[in-house]
Structure 1
Amino acid sequence: MRVAMIGTGYVGLVSGTCFSEFGHTVTCVDKNPERIAALQRGEIPIFEPGLDDLVARNVKAGRLSFTQDTRAAVESADAVFIAVGTPSRRGDGEADLSYVHAAAAEIAGAIKRYTVVVTKSTVPVGTGREVERIIRTTNPVAEFEVASNPEFLREGAAIEDFMRPDRVVCGVESERAREVLRGLYRPLYINETPILFTAVETAELIKYAANAFLATKITFINEIASLCEKVNVNVQDVARGIGLDGRIGGKFLHAGPGYGGSCFPKDTQALVATGRKYAAPLRIVETVVEVNDARKRQMAEKVIAACGGSVQGKTIAVLGLTFKPETDDMRDSPSLEIVPALQAAGATVRTYDPEGMVEAKKLLKDLVWCNDSYEAAEGADALVIITEWNQFRALDLARLKTLLKQPLMIDLRNIYKPAELQQAGFVYHSVGRAPVGQ
Structure 2
Amino acid sequence: MSNPRILDPSRALALVGDGARIVAAPGCGAPTTMLHALGKEAPGRGWTLSSGLLLGDYPFIDAVTNRDLRYRTWHVMAPIRALVAGGVVEYVPLRASQVGSYLGRRGVDVAVVRVSPPDGHGYCSVGPSAGYSLDALRMASLRIGEVDPALPRTFGNTTVHRSVFDAFVDTADPTPRYESAKPNETSNKIASHVLSLLPAHPTLQIGIGSIPETVVSSLGDADLESVRFAGMATDEMVDLFERGVIPAAGDEPAIMSPELMGTERIMQFADCNPALSVYPSSIAHDAAVLGGIRRFVSVNTAIEVDMTGQVNSEMVRGRQVSGIGGSLDFVDAASRSAGGLRVIALPSTTSDGAHSRIVPSIGPGGTVTIPRSMVDAIVTEYGVARLDGLSARERAEALIAIAHPNHRDSLVDQVGAQR
Answer 1 or 2: higher relative contact order, Cα 8 Å, separation at least 6.
2
TM-score (norm 2): 0.32
Rg comparison, structure with higher value: 1
TM-score (norm 1): 0.31
